[in-house]
Structure 1
Amino acid sequence: MHMILRTMLVLSRARRGVRRKGAVDPYSVGRLALRVLPSDLDILNHVNNGVYFSLFDLGRFDLLMRSGLWTSITERGWYPVVASETITFRKSLTLWQRFTVETRILGFDDRAFYLEHRAVVKGEIYTQAFIRARFLKKSGGTVSVTELLDAIGHDNDRDLTVPKWLVRWGKDAVLPSTRQPAPSVWE
């Protein structure tokens, strides 16, 4: 329940920021200042590994809202979903510690877009995650990358080359389509 309330607070603050300062460049690094709450912790008194992905969701929502992309995609009946994610931990975040979630769009391949997230304390990376995401249509089906880029007014001169290892990871980590069988068989 706490993450729903936290999400609503982040979205509300982002909306106010857009009204006061205007929209930010969607390709800039989004920065969201947060603090570790008791509900973020596991029994070892540091942020639970699964909570990081929820905190990084907040970073994506904040960047989408402050850039104006949230309005653009929701008006079209689209919504974002994570297809794959990978994370690396370096240092632990602990109770009441202040940190910043940094979020940036890395680029696109033929099916998805890629983002990088970092949990940063005083300029030092504690955790880094890479996200492969897509947009779905409430009416059914997926939003093509071309449709998405047209909707956000993508500048073709901008270099958004996704690192080759990340594209390879995205292809290697994919599961079968929802229209294909995916039996749970252990080898």
Structure 2
Amino acid sequence: MENRRQEILDAALEVFLERGFDSATMAAIRERSGASTGSIYHFFNGKAEMAAALLKIATSQWSLQSQAAGLADDPEQAVKASVAGFLSWGLANPRLFAFMDDLLARSRFSQDFTPVGDLIDAGRKAASDAYAAWAQAKVVRDLPWNVSYALIMGPAYAILRNSAGGAIDQSDVAEIVQSAWLSVRS
């Protein structure tokens, strides 16, 4: 049963990347996955729910790569682990990264993406709260979360977008990871 769900998600990702989210159809996903319409709707109410499921997979894989969740008491290690994990995950999963990147942009402007937006908002709230606690402890600069997030994650997003799934030199990864911390530390 779980295999069928994953097969549908794998097919959805490919269709979304080939056609774009708006042009992707449930029929194309059904055809690509080999699943029946009933099977697809057993697992998902529609494309937005599939997108949210793909985002959950992406963020859980990123979290496993970074293991930053357990490092909340050490802001430097949490920031560095999160950025390093994100880069590692994005390089290993360029197609899922491309979809996630597109999804994040879309989620801000479309009500169709409510499940995605809710998931993103929950993650941002947790990260914002952790950063605020670090700022209160004067370990990081007291900046608005949007600015802090851009300083921490912006360069990682940029290099992944520009790498087109290619390799990135490990010295560049190390520089981005170190710069993320230096940009926000007190």
TM normalised by structure 2 equals: 0.28
**Bigger helix share:** 2
More strand by share: 1
